[in-house]
């Protein structure tokens, strides 16, 4: 009985130790957004968001040696655009990304380097922040609007951590954010048809602290 009680106490203490280990940090990088095609009576073109910088932060809880849960926020100031051949129309815009990921760590005891993969979901707030005009270039394909909309989003990622000190971690990682295309911000012109899925590739590097 005493041995069983000691074993249970040890397991509980070990689990509590893992549950109390948190990681907090910030990241910076760039958002490379895929475009969607436009087809219709006016011909073909592409639309989406231009490449831009990105910055954000996260906090994660270590659930056990290999598994953690991570809450993340990312700010991406990417301008809207429509492009046909050599002509391009742009409009100021931004994205706010909030998601929760389950992260699997390929951990080895005592190793300073650790690889990980992540999968999760959340939401993306798209905002058009430019000045609307009655006439817009390439308006035969679509219209830019000064509005905002929230879309559901899937998150997939992979990366590497490197322990600079026992508590300070250097991270390099890559995220793929997948969401429906926000036709509320870039509205199809009459007779035009847009693709429906937007992918956002975000490579980033960051620093985090264990506590």
The structural domains of the chain, with segments of one domain joined by +, span 22-210
User: Which is nearest to 33 in space by CA: 52, 46, 16?
Assistant: 52
Record the pTM.
0.85
* pLDDT tens, residue by residue, 9-31: 433 433 433 334 899 999 999 99
| Residue 198: partners with Cβ closer than 8 Å, 6 or more residues away | 33, 34, 36, 48, 49, 178, 179, 180, 181, 182
* pLDDT tens, residue by residue, 98-124: 999 999 999 888 889 999 999 999 999
Q: Give me the chain's average pLDDT, please.
A: 89
| Out of 12-21, 92-101, 143-152, least confident range | 12-21
Q: What is the DSSP letter of 110?
A: T
Domain topology for 22-210: Porin (2.40.160)
């Amino acid at each position: 009985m005493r041995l069983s009680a000691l074993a249970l106490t040890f397991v509980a203490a070990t689990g509590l130790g893992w549950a109390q280990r948190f990681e907090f940090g910030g990241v910076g990088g760039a958002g490379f957004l895929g475009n969607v095609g436009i087809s219709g009576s006016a011909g073909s073109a592409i639309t989406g968001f231009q490449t831009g910088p990105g910055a954000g932060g996260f906090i994660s809880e270590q659930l056990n040696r290999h598994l953690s849960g991570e809450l993340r926020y990312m700010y991406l100031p990417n301008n809207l655009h429509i492009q046909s051949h050599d002509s391009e129309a742009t409009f100021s815009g931004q994205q706010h990304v909030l998601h929760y990921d389950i992260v699997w760590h390929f951990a080895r005891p005592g190793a300073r380097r650790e690889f990980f993969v992540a999968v999760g979901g959340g939401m993306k707030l798209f905002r058009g922040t430019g000045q609307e005009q009655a006439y817009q270039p390439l308006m035969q394909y679509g219209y830019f609007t000064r509005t905002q909309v929230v879309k559901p989003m899937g998150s997939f990622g992979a990366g590497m951590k490197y322990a600079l000190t026992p508590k300070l971690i250097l991270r390099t990682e890559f995220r793929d954010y997948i969401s429906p295309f926000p036709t509320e911000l870039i509205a199809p012109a009459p007779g035009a048809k847009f693709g429906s899925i937007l992918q956002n590739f975000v490579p980033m590097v960051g620093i985090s602290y264990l506590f």
